[in-house]
Amino acid sequence: MMIKDLFQGIDGISEEGVNEWLVARHYILEERKRLDVAKDLGPKSGRYVHVEIILDGGSDRLAAAIVRQVALITHYPNFKEGDESTRTVISVIHNNEDSLQMKELLKKYLGNLTDYCQFVVDGKNESRYYESFKNFMPLDVAIEIRKAGAGCSLCPDKAEEPIKIRMSEVKNIAYHCNEDADSKRICQAQLINMAYNLGKDIDNLPAYDNANVPRYETALHYFFSHTTSEKALEKWTSANVKANDRLSCLFCADCIKERLDGLLDIPGKTIDKYLREERKKVDKAISDNIDALALCEHSRWNVERLILGYRPYSFQEHLEIEDLFGDEQAAYRKRLKNDGVHMDLCSYKNLRRIDPGNIKYDYFLMLAIPYILAAGSKKSPGKQKLIYL
């Protein structure tokens, strides 16, 4: 299976749409090393990331795909719910009077994200639910479209030097389909899927004291010693794992190395070599910052799910489910989830109240980072295939 196959499994996406996903993902993950800023955004950092996408040529559709990819990966453990000063700001800068086309493209390419994040177009709020949901589901990404020369309306007073992406420089970018790299990343995505489906070793843990790292030792031991590539593939191809869930695991795998970059100084070493030589330092850094890492993962998941078309419960739906119990409540929740309405799309604070049993999976996943990164670490040049837009 190649990464291209994961995108083709999504209903309603055209071949051109798949290629836009792949080119944008390749450009942001591989070509734009200036976006590797995670080392400056550890849990105690007060900085934020500001990305400017300048529409000075090339395809507006590809620009929208790049905005989507930036929104998927720019999540850092210094984000604190209720504090918008450390969220990522994405600015799309145009030279035309009319920004309607780009606004409509972003609404299409970003799913429900533009309805719930702060979304400003030429100084006007275009988000349907940001004001009513910003406390219930604070997001770590904000987006604006503005004319060249206008100031950023979303940046806090402490201005950061923006990372500039000029579309005139992106229009000839090709996606290099490397089978070995795809295989490694999909292997990591399969392990992430296994982490969320480990079974009783996680399910039986109580829904509290999540930062108590020693309580996960049995589950980590089982995950490390019993998870084979065959088991991971079997779970990955199960009928219970939907196409969106596989994409979700891929998006998580795309970000997982950056979780360590903000915690550790890894000069002159590959992450694989550092894991082999300094494993105790890695484990301690993760344990010492487990709360921030788990919150970061949930914040990333919120944005990803909105992009994939999910939405949070309305306040009316929360009232309705609170009047149900047992099988009736489970059936109501399942019906909404099948319709793309997810109870866990909320702040961590609210998740502890609404669905506390699921929080431990974020903690376990962060503790499993060294195992996941070590997967498929053997590198080879691979076969190259090119996809141009």
Q: What is the 3-state secondary structure (H, E, C) of the chain?
A: CCHHHHHHCCCCCCHHHHHHHHHHHHHHHHHCHHHCCHHHCCCCCCCCCEEEEECCCCCHHHHHHHHHHHHHHCCCCCCECCEHHHCEEEEEEECCCCCHHHHHHHHHHCCCHHHHCCEEECCEECCCCHHHHCCCCCCCEEEEEEECCCCCCCCCCCCCCCEEEEHHHHCCCEEEEEHHHHHHHHHHHHHHHHHCCCCHHHHCCCCCCCCCHHHHHHHHHHHHHHCCHHHHHHHHCCCCCCHHHHHHHHHHHHHHHHHHHCCCCCCCCCHHHHHHHCHHHHHHHHHHCHHHHHHHHHHHHHHHHHHCCCEECCHHHHHHHHCCCHHHHHHHHHHHHHCCEECCCCCHHHHHHHCHHHHHHHHHHHHCHHHHHHCCCCCCCCCEEEEEC
Q: Are residues 163 and 49 in contact, defined by beta-carbon separation less than 8 angstroms?
A: yes
Confidence (pLDDT) at 35 = 79
Q: Are residues 259 and 323 in the same domain?
A: yes
Q: Are residues 88 and 77 in the same domain?
A: yes
Residues facing 83 on adjacent strands: 80
Please say which residue of 134, 152, 176 terminates a domain.
Answer: 176
> First vs last Cα of the chain: how many Å apart?
22
Q: Are residues 266 and 163 in the same domain?
A: no
Residue 165 belongs to a domain = yes
Residue 386 belongs to a domain = no
Q: Are residues 129 and 311 in contact, defined by beta-carbon separation less than 8 angstroms?
A: no
**Residue 314 φ/ψ, nearest 5 degrees:** -75, 165
Confidence (pLDDT) at 68 = 97
Please name the residue that has the structure tokens 């030279």: 95
Q: Are residues 73 and 151 in the same domain?
A: yes
Residues facing 124 on adjacent strands: 121
Q: Are residues 147 and 11 in the same domain?
A: yes
Confidence (pLDDT) at 378 = 47
Structural tokens at position 28? 């942001």
Distance CA 68, CA 236 (A): 25
Distance CA 324, CA 317 (A): 11
Burial of 176 (0-12, 13-18, 19+ CB in 10 A): middle
Q: Is 254 left (phi over 0), alpha (psi -120 to 50) or beta?
A: alpha
389 residues of the chain, pLDDT tens digit each: 789 888 876 777 888 889 999 999 999 988 776 678 888 899 999 999 999 999 998 899 999 999 999 999 999 999 999 999 999 999 999 987 678 999 999 999 999 999 999 999 999 999 999 999 999 999 999 999 999 999 999 998 888 899 999 999 887 777 777 788 888 899 999 999 999 888 778 888 888 899 999 999 999 988 888 888 888 999 999 888 888 999 999 999 999 888 888 888 777 667 778 888 888 999 999 999 999 999 999 999 999 999 999 999 999 999 999 999 999 999 999 999 999 999 999 999 999 999 998 999 999 999 999 999 887 554 433 343 434 34
Confidence (pLDDT) at 9 = 66
Please say which residue of 176, 208, 227 terminates a domain.
Answer: 176
Q: Which of 179, 182, 185, 184 is nearest to 385 (CA)?
A: 179
Q: Are residues 170 and 190 in the same domain?
A: no
Range of the domain at 65: 3-176
Residue 383 belongs to a domain = no
R_g of the chain, CA atoms, integer Å: 20
Work out the number of other CB atoms within 10 angstroms of the CB of residue 13.
14
Confidence (pLDDT) at 199 = 78
Q: Are residues 196 and 329 in the same domain?
A: yes
Q: Are residues 88 and 48 in contact, defined by beta-carbon separation less than 8 angstroms?
A: yes
Residue 387 belongs to a domain = no
Confidence (pLDDT) at 312 = 97
Please say which residue of 159, 176, 193 terminates a domain.
Answer: 176
Q: Are residues 14 and 68 in the same domain?
A: yes
Q: Are residues 119 and 125 in contact, defined by beta-carbon separation less than 8 angstroms?
A: yes
Residue 363 belongs to a domain = yes
Residues facing 387 on adjacent strands: 175
Distance CA 78, CA 265 (A): 17
Q: Are residues 162 and 191 in the same domain?
A: no
Confidence (pLDDT) at 377 = 56
Q: Are residues 109 and 9 in the same domain?
A: yes
Q: Are residues 160 and 193 in the same domain?
A: no
Confidence (pLDDT) at 326 = 93
Residue 108 belongs to a domain = yes
Residue 384 belongs to a domain = no
Residue 42 belongs to a domain = yes
Tell me, letter by letter, the H, E, C secondary structure of 316-361. Answer: HHHHHHHCCCHHHHHHHHHHHHHCCEECCCCCHHHHHHHCHHHHHH
Q: Are residues 139 and 198 in the same domain?
A: no
The total number of structural domains in the chain stands at 2
Distance CA 13, CA 1 (A): 18
